[in-house]
Amino acid sequence: MSQQAVVELKHVTKKIRSKTIIDNISFNVFSGEVFGFLGPNGAGKTTTIRMIVGLMKVSSGDIIVNGKSVKNDFEGAVQHVGAIVENPEMYKFMSGYKNLIHYSRMYKGISKEKIDEVVKLVGLEKRINDKVKTYSLGMRQRLGIAQSLLHDPKVLILDEPTNGLDPAGIREIRDYIRRLARERDMAVIVSSHLLSEMEMMCDRIGIIQNGKLKDVQLIEDFVGNQSHVYKIEVSNAVEIADRLRQAFPAFEIRLVQEDLLINCKKEDIPAIIKWCVEEGLSVFGAAKAAKSLEDRFLEVTSEQKEEPVNV
Amino acid sequence: MFNLMRNEWMKLFSRAATYVMIGAIVLAAIAATVIMLFINSLGSDQNLTWQEQLQADNERLEQMIETGEAGFMGDDPAERIAINEYALENDIAPNSMNISGTFWSYLENSTFLLSLIGLFAIIVASGIVASEFSWGTIKLLMIRPIARWKILLSKFITVGAFGLFLVVITAIISVILGLIFFDPGSPVRLVFEDGQVVEKSMAAYVVRLYIFNSLDVIMLTTMAFMISAVFRNSSLAIGISLFLLFVGGTATGFIAAYYDWAKFSLFANTNLSQYEMNMPIVEGMNMQFSIIMLVIYFAVFMTLAFTVFTKRDIAS
C-alpha cells in the first residue's frame, strides 16, 4: 500500500494515579481513510482522543502525528490536527463568525476567504453572524466542524460527532466525513458507541474495551469474515432441519424463523442445494447473510470478558 | 502573542458584564465628584481666607508646643508651623485649606476608586481561565499549535490591560470633572525635609499615592488569577480574593500588634505609604524589605499558575 500513516499510536498507556485507563494501545491511521473508534461508554475512547490532541499527556508510549511526536513537539504535531472533543462547545455569547475568527487567529495565515469558504462548506452562511446561543445542536455541530477545518488539517478527529443529532443531521455529518476523507485525502478518526453509525461511515474499525484495544479490522472483514453464514430459503425448513444436520454434520445449522442459517464455506453451498433438490424441496434462494456489526461487536467484546477466567 | 491577546480582548468585550463594570466605574467617578461637592458645601459657611486659617492653625500649634501635647499622627508641630509660614511668605495656598476644595485634593480623595477597579480586575482575573473550563471551551482552545504558557500569559496580560484600561477611564473622567468643578489649586506640595521646607510637585505625589494604593489590588488580582488557573474554579478565586481584599489589611494589622512574623504576610507589605509616614506596621521593616516581599509573592503566584496550568491534564 502506498498509503502513509498520518497518526501512529505506539504502545500508548495512560495511568491516572495507580489506575491504568489506557493499556498499551497501538494503531495507525492512514490518509484518506475513516477510522472508527468503537467502544462502550467509559472504555477510553475520549481519553485516547484527548491524548492524540495533547489535552492529556501519555504516561508511556508515544503518539506521532505527521511524523512529529505529540509528546516532544506538541506544536508541530497538533498543527495538522483539527478536532472536536466531546461536544463542540463554543463561546455562546459571540457570533459563529467571531468564534471562527477567534480560532483562525491561533494559526498562521488563515484568510477571511478561507473562513467564508469553510462557513459555506458546512452551510451556515445565513446564520453565521448570529450568536451561538441561538444555534440548534446540529448547527453547533456544523460550526464545530467548520472550526476544525480552518487550517486544512491532515487529520480530523471527531468525538461522537453524531451525538444528539436527528436522523437528517446524522446523515449530513456522515456525508461530510466521507467526502472530506475522499476529496481532501484527510485521515478522519471518529469515535462512537453507535455501531450502526460506524458501519456506514468507516473504512476500518478499532474496538476498545476497558482501556485495551481488542481488534482493528477493515469494516468488511469485521462485519463478515471467517466462515460465512449463508441463509437458505427452502420449503418445509422446520421439518428438514434435523435431517440436514445429519447429512452435513460438519456445519453448524440454525433455524431462524422459516430460514436455515448454515455456517459453511462458499464451496459447500452447491452440495447443500443439490441435497435439498434431491429431497424434493423447493429452494427459493441462497445468500450470504452478513453478520451485523452489532453481533460482531458483542462477539469481540464478550470473548474478551471471559479472558481473565482462563488466566 | 498579539493575536492571542486580541482574542482575549474580543471575548472580554463580547460580554455584557464587562460593560456593566465600565458603567459602574464611570458612575462611581461621577458620584465621587458629587459627594465631594456636597461635603464641601457643608463647610462653606466658615468664611475665613486660607491665610487666616493658617494663622489660626499656627496659634493652635504654638499652644500645643507650650503645653507639651503630642502632635496628631506623629506630626511635629514645629514642622507644621514652618510649612505654614513658608506658605504664607511665598503665597502658596495649601490644597487642604481651600474651602470649596481644589482639583488636587479632589484627586487625593478619589483613591477609593482604585478599590472598585481592583474589585473588577479580580472578577475578570478569576473568570478568565476558570470560565474556559466551565464553558467547556478550554478543549477547543488548547488543541491549537500554541504552547500553553503563551495562552496563559496572554490571559494575564489581558487582565492587566483591562485594569489599566479602567484606570485610564477613571483618570480621564476624574481630571475632566475635577477641572470643571474645583479650583485648580496649587501644583506645589510643601514638605519638611532635612530641617527646611521644600517645594515638591503635587502631581508626582498624587501619582505615587495612586501607585501605592493599587499595590494590594495588583497582588490580589495576581492571586485570583493564580487560583483561577490552578483550581479552575472562578467562584473560589473571587471568594478568596475579595475576602482578603476586604479583611486582609485589617486582620494583618491586628496580628502585627502581637506577632512580629506578620511582617512576612502579604498585607503588611502592600501598604508602602507606611514608610512615607514613618509608621511601619511592624518595627524594623523598611521599603526595601516590603518590595522584596512583594516580588517574592508575585513570583510564587506566577510560578504556581504557570506550572500547574501547563502540566495538568485537561479532563472533565
Residue B230 Cα, gap to closest chain A Cα (Å): 16
pLDDT at A306: 43
Contacts of B130 (CB under 8 A, 6+ apart): B228, B229, B231, B232, B233, B234, B237
Q: What is the largest CA-CA distance in chain A?
A: 76
Beta-carbon separation of A78 and B315 below 8 A: no
Q: Which 8-state DSSP code applies to residue A95?
A: B
User: And the C-alpha cell for A239?
Assistant: 421439518
β-pairing verdict for A60-65 and A155-159: unpaired
B111 has pLDDT over 70: yes
Mean pLDDT of the region B158-180: 90
A220 class by beta-carbon count within 10 Å (0-12 exposed, 13-18 middle, 19+ buried): exposed
User: Chain B within 8 Å of A50 (Cβ-Cβ)?
Assistant: yes
User: Chain B within 8 Å of A57 (Cβ-Cβ)?
Assistant: yes
Contacts of A155 (CB under 8 A, 6+ apart): A6, A7, A29, A65, A66, A80, A81, A82, A186, A187, A188, A189
> How large is the angle between the packed helices A167-184 and A137-149, nearest 10 degrees?
10
Place of cell 494515579: A17
Residue B8: closest CA among chain A residues belongs to which residue? A102
- CA-atom Rg of chain A in angstroms: 24
Q: Residue A44 — left, alpha, or beta (φ > 0 → left; ψ -120 to 50 → alpha)?
A: left
> How large is the angle between the packed helices B112-135 and B148-181, nearest 10 degrees?
150
Beta-carbon separation of A106 and B4 below 8 A: yes
Of B7, B15, B146, the CB nearest to A93: B15
Which of A51, A57, A89, A90 is the best substitution to test chain B (most B C-beta atoms within 10 A)? A89
pLDDT at A311: 35
Kindly indicate the confidence band of residue A309, based on its pLDDT and cuts at 50, 70 and 90: very low
CA distance B180 to B175: 9
Higher pLDDT, B57 or A82: A82
pLDDT 10s digits, B199-256: 778 888 888 888 888 888 899 899 999 999 999 888 888 999 888 888 888 888 888 8
User: Chain B within 8 Å of A85 (Cβ-Cβ)?
Assistant: yes
Chain B residues touching chain A at CB-CB below 8 Å: 3-4, 6-7, 10-11, 14-16, 135-137, 139-140, 142-147, 313-316
Fold of the A228-288 domain: Alpha-Beta Plaits (3.30.70)
Beta-carbon separation of A106 and B147 below 8 A: no
User: Chain B within 8 Å of A93 (Cβ-Cβ)?
Assistant: yes
Task: List phi, psi (to 5°) of A82.
Answer: -115, 140
CA distance B113 to B174: 10
CA distance B275 to B267: 14
Beta-carbon separation of B145 and A106 below 8 A: yes
ipTM above 0.85, yes or no: no
- CB atoms under 10 Å from CB of B15, counted, come to 16
Query: Which of A150-159, A195-204, B38-47, B202-211 has the least mean pLDDT?
Result: B38-47
User: Chain B within 8 Å of A21 (Cβ-Cβ)?
Assistant: no
B273 has pLDDT over 80: no
Of B4, B6, B136, the CB nearest to A89: B136
pLDDT at B223: 92
Residue B3: closest CA among chain A residues belongs to which residue? A105
- CB atoms under 10 Å from CB of B74, counted, come to 9
Mean pLDDT of the region A95-114: 92
Domain A5-218 sits in CATH 3.40.50.300: yes
Q: Are B25 and B170 in contact (CB under 8 A)?
A: yes
Beta-carbon separation of A57 and B144 below 8 A: no
pLDDT 10s digits, B8-67: 999 999 999 999 999 999 999 898 888 888 877 776 556 667 777 777 777 877 777 777
A307 has pLDDT over 50: no
The secondary element (H helix, E strand) that includes residue B125 is helix B112-135
Over the range A131-144, which residues count as b (16 or more CB within 10 Å of their CB) and which as e?
A: bbeebeebbbbbbb
Residue A79 Cα, gap to closest chain B Cα (Å): 5
Type of residue numbered A172: E
pLDDT at A302: 66
Beta-carbon separation of B143 and A147 below 8 A: no
Q: Are A55 and A83 in contact (CB under 8 A)?
A: no
Q: Are B132 and B141 in contact (CB under 8 A)?
A: yes
- Bridge partners of B190, per DSSP, are B199
Beta-carbon separation of B145 and A75 below 8 A: yes
B78 has pLDDT over 60: yes
Of A55, A92, A93, the CB nearest to B314: A55
Task: Sketch the domain layout of chain A as residue ranges.
Answer: 5-218, 228-288
Q: Are B216 and B272 in contact (CB under 8 A)?
A: no
Q: Are B281 and B252 in contact (CB under 8 A)?
A: yes
B81 has pLDDT over 50: yes
pLDDT at A285: 83
Q: Are A62 and B116 in contact (CB under 8 A)?
A: no
Residue A52 Cα, gap to closest chain B Cα (Å): 10
CA distance B293 to B281: 14
pLDDT at B97: 61
B131 has pLDDT over 70: yes
Beta-carbon separation of A89 and B137 below 8 A: yes
User: Chain B within 8 Å of A146 (Cβ-Cβ)?
Assistant: no
Kindly indicate the confidence band of residue A1, based on its pLDDT and cuts at 50, 70 and 90: very low
The secondary element (H helix, E strand) that includes residue A84 is strand A81-84
Beta-carbon separation of A78 and B144 below 8 A: yes
- Bridge partners of B191, per DSSP, are B198
Type of residue numbered A77: A
Chain A residue numbers touching B4 (CB-CB < 8 A)? 105-106
